[in-house]
Amino acid sequence: MVQEAIALVIRLLKKNFGEVSENIKNQFPDLYLEELKNLSKDIFDFTTFEDLSNWLTNKQR
């Protein structure tokens, strides 16, 4: 399920922002499934990759 959630997040990011760097992709396997679900919703509030970076930095476990 985690791999499917990661794939979904990457597809959403590509659609909204274009190519996703390997640096960003490498951070997703460290996320729990619940975090990935939250991210898949929060992506719609992002306007830049910086928003994603801030989300990843500030996520709470």
Q: How far is C-alpha 39 from the geometric centre of its chain's CA atoms?
A: 5
What's this model's pTM, rounded to 2 decimal places?
0.84
Residue 10, Cβ density class (10 Å: 0-12 exposed, 13-18 middle, ≥19 buried): middle
Cα Rg of the chain (Å, integer): 10
49 pLDDT exceeds 80?
yes
- Mean pLDDT in residue range 22-49: 93
- Mean pLDDT in residue range 38-49: 94
CA distance 61 to 45: 20
